[in-house]
Amino acid sequence: MIYADNAATTKMSETAVKAMLEVINDNYGNPSSLYSIGQKAKEALEEARADIAGVIGAKPAEILFTSGGSEADNQAIISAAKTGEAAGKRHIISTKIEHHAVLHTLKKLEKEGFEVTLLEVNGDGLVTPEAVRDAIREDTCLVSVMYANNEIGTIEPIREIGAICREKKVPFHVDAVQAIGHIPVNVEEDNIDMLSSSAHKFHGPKGVGFLYVKKGIRLFNLIEGGAQEKGKRAGTENVPGIVAAAAALKEAVANMDKNAAYLTEKREKLIAGLKEISHSALNGHPVKRLPGNVNFCFEGIEGESLLLLLDDKGIQASSGSACTSGSLDPSHVLLAIGRVHDVAHGSLRLSIAEDITDADVDYIIKSVKEVVEYLRGFSPVWRDLVAGKSQFIL
Amino acid sequence: MALYSDKVMDHFRNPRNVGVIEDANGIGEVGNAKCGDIMKMYLKIENDVIEDVKFETFGCGSAIASSSMATEMIKGKPVSEAMQLTNKAVAEALDGLPDYKMHCSVLAEEAIKSALDDYEKRRQEEK
């Protein structure tokens, strides 16, 4: 089996599993308890917080643990909106290619009377700092831009956008779920005020994430209850998950340069191989791109069929096809970079991890070529394209 | 539970009656690439019996399986019987489809009916 859907989730690292089991077996106390095993759990929790803060250039007090990236996105955006509203500011800027955790939160705020500007991206999926500057108004209370896109892997000019937000004194939130642990992120240098992350994207456990909130930025609760996380997130802390997340992240960051170089080489090999398929196109930026992300459109075929047949060949991947999402529209990201519906349905995302070998890469290329050719063989769309009855787009 | 029944996967992996009939006397195409599903049906009808049927489909696993199953259900049948084919019957024959994939079986029914209409139209023109 070749697991090539690491943007969806990753396998936990051995280090993370070990760290988690240690807590489960030996350090099961409640961090809020006064007696020794409670305090030992509290120590482990605070050590994890300090480790994570250290890795992204934050202070421990600026890290809030959540159930994952979606909760962190929700809390950051809703907090900024509430703070803004109190000052009469009800305008939010984001982009068309954000994760649904951001887009759907913004939709909800729109219904509550906020005005949302979703910036366009170019054909490579890049949003320009200039576009952010032009969109900022007197009543803008938040700019939210993702660090790297989960579908097409494009890395956004976060530092430059952050600098503009600082200059304009607008809070800047970054969904860094796909970036943390894979590419360098430093909240101080990148001018970030709030940042969301999720542990299962960097070989940590599912159900754990964190929100970085710069000192001085006000946070509102999504979950009411006990005084955990300085009263900003009630509920007994997921200590095993949090400790495992910190262990996974430290490991990922310690090996980041090595891993990124290795993955980039394999990525380029995959891209070169898949480009040999006629009427195909790479989605996302060719260079400013996550090391492990490959995303292609193949004309004349539909993505779900492609995924199912690749699964039969032992390859697990993902697609932006409508049929894989249960909706009628293909991926909003592919549409935003200018892929028309017909082509967007035929997309394939491969997101590789460090365990991939050269033999795997060769096998993936060979298999995708075979499946695309097979599906085109009985596709009426492909027949019309080849017969000249309709025009090739790619 | 798997996304699809074994029957759907069987018809998806080994679709029956795939291809084109060069001298078809009834052809129907439904759906559009914008929505992600297109089905094309070719019928060869003699003495009001569907002697041969072939299909081409651009679409997801259940679209391909629905096309395949629908062709099997009408092959060798009289036109009058083929006209009675319902999407529900196609879905049932596949041991069910997920709710949000039911439209694939609708498309299969429509593709067959469209091909039968085309056959009927051609026959009227011949008269």
Tell me the pLDDT tens digit for each residue of A166-194. Answer: 999 999 999 999 999 999 999 999 999 99
How far CA A355 is from CA of A19, A266, A290, in Å, comes to: 21, 11, 16
| Cβ within 8 Å of residue A309, ≥6 positions away | A371, A374, A375, B13
| Predicted ipTM of the assembly | 0.96
How far separated are the first and last CA of chain B, in Å rounded? 54
The pLDDT assigned to B34 comes to 76
Percent of chain A with pLDDT over 70: 98
Third-level CATH fold of A256-386: Aspartate Aminotransferase, domain 1 (3.90.1150)
pLDDT tens digits for range A326-365: 566 889 999 999 999 989 999 999 999 999 999 999 999 9
Q: What is d(CA A120, CA A142) in angstroms, rounded to the nearest whole number?
A: 17
Domain ranges of chain B: 6-126
pLDDT tens digits for range A223-237: 999 999 999 999 999
Nearest CA in chain B to A375: B58
Residue A261 CB-density burial (10 A; 0-12 exposed, 13-18 middle, 19+ buried): exposed
Torsion, Cα of A378, A384, A385, A390 (10° steps): -150
Inter-chain residue contact B33 with A301, CB threshold 8 Å: no
CATH number assigned to the domain covering A14-254:
3.40.640.10
Q: What is the mean pLDDT of the segment spanning A125-143?
A: 98
Inter-chain residue contact B60 with A379, CB threshold 8 Å: no
Scanning A307-326 for CB atoms below 8 A from B yields 308-309, 312, 321-324, 326
Residue A348 CB-density burial (10 A; 0-12 exposed, 13-18 middle, 19+ buried): buried
Q: What is d(CA A60, CA A183) in angstroms, rounded to the nearest whole number?
A: 21
Q: Is residue A39 predicted with pLDDT exceeding 70? A: yes
The pLDDT assigned to A325 comes to 57
The pLDDT assigned to A100 comes to 96
Q: What is the mean pLDDT of the segment spanning A100-107?
A: 98
The pLDDT assigned to A372 comes to 98
pLDDT tens digits for range A265-312: 999 999 999 999 999 999 999 999 999 999 999 999 999 999 999 999
Domain ranges of chain A: 14-254, 256-386
Inter-chain residue contact A379 with B55, CB threshold 8 Å: no
User: What band does A324 get if pLDDT is binned at 50, 70 and 90?
Assistant: low
Residue A217 CB-density burial (10 A; 0-12 exposed, 13-18 middle, 19+ buried): middle
Third-level CATH fold of B6-126: Sufe protein. Chain: A (3.90.1010)
pLDDT tens digits for range B76-121: 999 999 999 999 999 999 999 999 899 999 999 999 999 999 999 9
Q: Is B39 on the interface with A (CB under 8 A)?
A: yes
Residue A173: closest CA among A216, A118, A213, A200: A213
User: What band does B1 get if pLDDT is binned at 50, 70 and 90?
Assistant: low
Q: Is B18 on the interface with A (CB under 8 A)?
A: yes
Nearest CA in chain B to A310: B13
Q: What is the mean pLDDT of the segment spanning B36-65?
A: 96
Beta bridge partners of A198: A209
